[in-house]
Structure 1
């Protein structure tokens, strides 16, 4: 016969789950009428007010879709607030100088990104778009089209190098995949 007050929790490791307490856990529900999902996303009730609604993710997204950050401000106040926030967040823009921020999802090397910039393409361009852009730009600066033009010859060599970098990267991806 076991005693009613005895616990099976003897310290670490725990033999029960962390939510295995006998008392009920308090979960705040979404403030949208009729929603039974947990309300874990705070949303302001009005501009510059500390009071918050607590919505589920779906209703928070719906609420924020129509939210105007500059509502209730005249043009001068809105411009001042935008300038203050731009000043406070300018470090993100500055970090691009050091190569910490940039376009792409991280799957391309820095050389590939430079080559794409030279071809004036987005970071997610496929190889068909790369070939098309290379051919169009190469036709403009090809030495046969512009004989004796040193600047066009340098531009053509840069385009060739960019294409070779991207072609080699594409071949590596196909070989791995």
Structure 2
């Protein structure tokens, strides 16, 4: 006597497992010459162009490392494009008051990121680490410690400005709540 095969869908037709299919799947390979890994990371061939390269993760990282959004633009055009990008995405900033976003996740401005770079800190540094790094750097390059050294005076000035930018940003965050 032949028994009917038991189904694996428990009476719900869309609950079958994904591994149940027997047809072949096509895997797109990396567009980098000589690479045999799956190319599942799209990368633009040119700005404002729908054509894409499809790289593996390693080659996509290599490709994007040198990508410059403002390449080929002079300073005024780059500033105008950056301004329009900020205006287009300005509506998304109104959600920043919810307070779940922490530093290092895109909540810092480009000025803050440059200030952190001057002090030699990572993007997710808290304000205590910023104060500590500023004090150490200021002691190292202070004009009283290095009399007559123009380079040390410039570094001290840059560190002081960086600390001031970060201090004001922290005050704004505290004020917002």
- TM-score (structure 2 length as normaliser): 0.52
- Of structures 1 and 2, the one scoring higher in RCO (CA 8 A, sep 6+) is 2
Q: Measure the CA separation in 2 of the matches of 1:130 and 1:157.
A: 16
Please, which runs of 5 or more residues in structure 2 have no aligned partner? 1-10, 26-33, 38-54, 71-81, 86-102
**Superposition map of 1:75-86 within 5 A:** 81=35, 85=56, 86=58
Aligned to 1:92: 64
Aligned to 2:124: 124
Q: What is the aligned length?
A: 112
Q: Measure the CA separation in 1 of the matches of 2:122 and 2:135.
A: 17
SS at 1:95's partner residue?
coil
Aligned to 1:61: none
Aligned residue among 7, 11, 14 for 1:26? 14
Instruction: Give the CA deviation at 1:27.
Output: 1.6
Instruction: Give the CA deviation at 1:90.
Output: 3.6
**Superposition map of 1:23-172 within 5 A:** 24-29=12-17, 81=35, 85=56, 86-87=58-59, 89-95=61-67, 98=70, 104-172=104-172
Q: Measure the CA separation in 2 of the matches of 1:114 and 1:137.
A: 16
Q: Measure the CA separation in 1 of the matches of 2:145 and 2:64.
A: 44
Q: Measure the CA separation in 2 of the matches of 1:89 and 1:173.
A: 33
Q: Measure the CA separation in 1 of the matches of 2:36 and 2:114.
A: 32
Q: Measure the CA separation in 1 of the matches of 2:115 and 2:107.
A: 14
Larger radius of gyration between Structure 1 and Structure 2: 1
Instruction: Give the CA deviation at 1:114.
Output: 0.4
Aligned to 1:67: none
Please, which runs of 5 or more residues in structure 1 have no aligned partner? 1-22, 32-38, 40-49, 52-79
Instruction: Give the CA deviation at 1:24.
Output: 4.5
Instruction: Give the CA deviation at 1:166.
Output: 0.1
Deviating above 3 A after TM superposition, structure 1's stretches of 4 or more consecutive aligned residues are 80-91, 95-100
Instruction: Give the CA deviation at 1:93.
Output: 1.6
Aligned-pair RMSD on alpha carbons?
Answer: 3.8
